Structure 1
Amino acid sequence: MTKNVIQRIQFPIIAIATSLAIAGCAGDPLESGLDPFAPMVFKEGNTAMPLNPPNKATIQPFYVSQQTIFKFAVDTDSILIGNDGVTRYTVILTSPNGNTQTQYEGIRCDSFQWRLYGTFDNKKWLENPLSSWQPIKDNTPNRYQAALAQGAFCNMSSQEKNIKAILKSLNPNGFTGGTKPSNSFGQIL
């Protein structure tokens, strides 16, 4: 073979090898600046207060704990699964003497936190200007945020994205207020 023919064969091979090497580096986290193991920075989306009071036809009571003397219910029409990782909902708390308090809240599964966006008072929603994310307490009698997070809104530390699964989990015949029951294969029952 002549030197010219060998050079013609080598050039495409070298060009292909160089292209593959460059393409391989494009996905390298050190080259792209993105570290797949770096913690994600949470950016909350806009939250608008509900326009209406809770819908009496869609209020679903749920179990919290044996120690609580309060009753708790969620308006299933109000459940909003946000793209920002926050599940927003309206909750109704009823004291033993029958007084109720209605709140609009959000739960983050990734950090196990909750936030009070506002309350329903005198037939209108009032936004909470001092609202901030608080840790969900799992060891208090009135642990309703923990019951909702562990029993319906979260799959471990990730947000449940299927509203039908949430509504099924809130079913009073199967809602435990704790972690979702599963079989030995880890399948949610």
Structure 2
Amino acid sequence: MFRARVTAGALLYAFVIVMAWADREDPLRGDAEEEGVRWQEQEKPLPAYPQDADLIEIKPDGSRGPHQYRLDIKSLSAHPDGVVTYTVIVQSESGAQNVLFEGIRCASKEYKTYAVGAAQQQLQPVRQASWRKIFNKDPIRHRIELYTYYVCDANQFALPPKSIIERLRHPGRIPSPYNSDR
């Protein structure tokens, strides 16, 4: 009898935990989804190919990796769907460069690569581009750096381009993410 009560109690406890977990607020959904409207991504037009005069270097926090990152401030754009788009040049120690037109969605801590640099200084759209999580341990450090320090505020809202550019130009004035809820 005692064993049956313990088992029933354990099952009831597990059920309550599972139901609470299933009913939790999902931080990956935007406010619109909580109101019954699904988030809908808007079309992102491709920017012009980056020019050297428009590039600002990004120095990832604590990174001693083999890459340099430069963001094209002319391509920087905040969209009504909450996505911030930008073009970044990733350069290896050997001098090889990758040009990426990407977007960051602050509300879900995700990125998407819309286009890559191609011959004749053109951006080529990526087929079947999809949203991917931004991970702290990603060896390509610009995404976590942009998400943490430049593009998103502590409440996971996208900053306007003017604020992002100001942060890029004066990185010493950026609030520490360690004082926020990230």
The reply to whether TM is greater than 0.5 is yes
**In structure 2, distance between residues paired with 1:139 and 1:38:** 34
**2:94 aligned with 1:97, yes or no?**
yes
Contact 1:61–1:172 at 8 Å: present in 2 too? no
Larger Rg: 1
> Counterpart in 1 of 2:138?
140
Deviation of 1:40 (Å):
5.4
> Counterpart in 2 of 1:159?
158
Question: Structure 1 59/36 Cα, relative in aligned 2: closer, same or farther at 3 Å?
Answer: closer
Q: Which runs of 5+ in 1 are unaligned?
A: 1-34
Pick from 118, 122, 125: which aligns with 1:121? 118
Q: Which runs of 5+ in 2 are unaligned?
A: 1-31
**In structure 2, distance between residues paired with 1:92 and 1:144:** 10
Is the partner of 1:98 in helix, strand or coil? coil
Question: Structure 1 91/175 Cα, relative in aligned 2: closer, same or farther at 3 Å?
Answer: farther
Question: Structure 1 72/175 Cα, relative in aligned 2: closer, same or farther at 3 Å?
Answer: farther
Pick from 162, 172, 176: which aligns with 1:181? 176
**2:55 aligned with 1:84, yes or no?**
no
Contact 2:63–2:141 at 8 Å: present in 1 too? no
Higher helix proportion (structure 1 or 2):
2
Is the partner of 1:110 in helix, strand or coil? helix
Contact 2:109–2:133 at 8 Å: present in 1 too? yes
Question: Structure 1 175/72 Cα, relative in aligned 2: closer, same or farther at 3 Å?
Answer: farther
**In structure 1, distance between residues paired with 2:80 and 2:161:** 13
**In structure 2, distance between residues paired with 1:146 and 1:53:** 23
Scaled by the length of structure 1, the TM-score of the pair is: 0.69
Scaled by the length of structure 2, the TM-score of the pair is: 0.72
User: Map of 1:37-76 to 2, 5 A cutoff?
Assistant: 37-38=34-35, 41-50=38-47, 52-64=48-60, 65-76=62-73
AA at the equivalent of 1:80: S
Contact 1:62–1:175 at 8 Å: present in 2 too? no
Superposed CA offset, 1:83-121 (max 9, x none): 110000000000010111101000000000000001111
Is the partner of 1:53 in helix, strand or coil? coil
> Counterpart in 2 of 1:24?
none
AA at the equivalent of 2:54: T
**In structure 2, distance between residues paired with 1:78 and 1:36:** 29
Is the partner of 2:172 in helix, strand or coil? coil
Q: Which runs of 4+ in 1 moved over 6 A?
A: none
**In structure 2, distance between residues paired with 1:164 and 1:75:** 13
Question: Structure 1 94/172 Cα, relative in aligned 2: closer, same or farther at 3 Å?
Answer: farther
Deviation of 1:71 (Å):
0.4
Deviation of 1:49 (Å):
1.6
Deviation of 1:36 (Å):
9.1
Deviation of 1:56 (Å):
1.2
Aligned CA RMSD, in angstroms, stands at 2.5
Question: Structure 1 170/126 Cα, relative in aligned 2: closer, same or farther at 3 Å?
Answer: same
